[in-house]
Amino acid sequence: MSTKPSTTRSALGTKKPQGKVVARKGPKKLLPVPDRLKRLFTSLYAQIDGGHFNNAIKTCDKVLSLDPKDNDALRTKLFLLLQTEQYITALELITTQPTMSQFGFEEAYALYRLQRETEASQKLNELKALQGDDRGSIHLQAQMSYRQGSYQVALDLYNQLLDTAEPGSEEHSDILTNLQASQQHLDFINTGFLQALDALPVQISSAIESAPPPAATAPSITASLLSTSLKADDPVNDQQAKPATKKVRKSRVPPGVIPGVTPPPDPERWLKKSERSTFAQGRRRKGGGGGATQGVASVESSTLVPTGPISHTPKSGGSKGKKRK
At residue 119, the pLDDT reads 93
Pairwise CA distance, residues 202 & 198, whole Å? 8
pLDDT digits (tens, 9 = 90+) for 140-179: 999 999 999 899 999 999 999 999 888 989 999 999 999 9
Instruction: Report the SS3 class of residue 297.
Output: strand
CATH code: domain of residue 37:
1.25.40.10
Pairwise CA distance, residues 319 & 323, whole Å? 9
Given 175, 192, 209, the domain boundary residue is 192
What is the per-residue burial (b if ≥16 Cβ within 10 Å, else e) of 24-40?
A: eeeeeeeeeeeeebeeb
Residues 136 and 187 in one domain: yes
Q: Is residue 311 part of a domain?
A: no
Given 133, 166, 192, the domain boundary residue is 192
**Measured CA distances, 313 to 290, 317, 321 (Å):** 21, 12, 13
Q: Is residue 55 part of a domain?
A: yes
Q: Is residue 201 part of a domain?
A: no
**Measured CA distances, 177 to 81, 149, 161, 184, 220 (Å):** 27, 17, 12, 11, 49
Residues 95 and 38 in one domain: yes
Residues 155 and 180 in one domain: yes
Residues 78 and 119 in one domain: no
At residue 293, the pLDDT reads 47
Instruction: Report the SS3 class of residue 305.
Output: strand
At residue 212, the pLDDT reads 79
At residue 217, the pLDDT reads 58
At residue 21, the pLDDT reads 58
At residue 17, the pLDDT reads 54
Who has greater pLDDT, 26 or 189? 189
pLDDT digits (tens, 9 = 90+) for 197-224: 767 777 776 777 777 777 665 544 444 4
Pairwise CA distance, residues 269 & 276, whole Å? 8
- Helix extents (H) in the chain: 8-13, 33-50, 53-66, 71-83, 87-96, 104-113, 117-131, 135-147, 151-164, 170-187, 193-199, 202-210, 223-233, 235-240, 279-288
Q: What is the mean pLDDT of residues 3-16?
A: 51
- Which residue range is the domain that position 79 belongs to? 32-103
CATH code: domain of residue 128:
1.25.40
**pLDDT surpassing 50 at residue 230:** no
Instruction: Report the SS3 class of residue 6.
Output: coil
Pairwise CA distance, residues 42 & 34, whole Å? 12
Q: Is residue 58 part of a domain?
A: yes
C-beta separation of 48 from 70 below 8 A = no
Q: Whole-prediction pTM value?
A: 0.53
Q: Is residue 139 part of a domain?
A: yes
Q: Is residue 320 part of a domain?
A: no
Overall number of domains in the chain: 2
C-beta separation of 94 from 78 below 8 A = yes
Pairwise CA distance, residues 280 & 227, whole Å? 77
Residues 94 and 130 in one domain: no
Q: Is residue 235 part of a domain?
A: no
Residues 95 and 119 in one domain: no
Q: Is residue 307 part of a domain?
A: no
**Measured CA distances, 179 to 113, 155, 173, 251, 300 (Å):** 20, 6, 10, 80, 131
Given 132, 165, 192, the domain boundary residue is 192
At residue 294, the pLDDT reads 45
Residues 163 and 185 in one domain: yes
At residue 306, the pLDDT reads 47
At residue 224, the pLDDT reads 47
Residues 72 and 51 in one domain: yes
C-beta separation of 93 from 81 below 8 A = yes
pLDDT level of residue 249 (50, 70, 90 thresholds): low
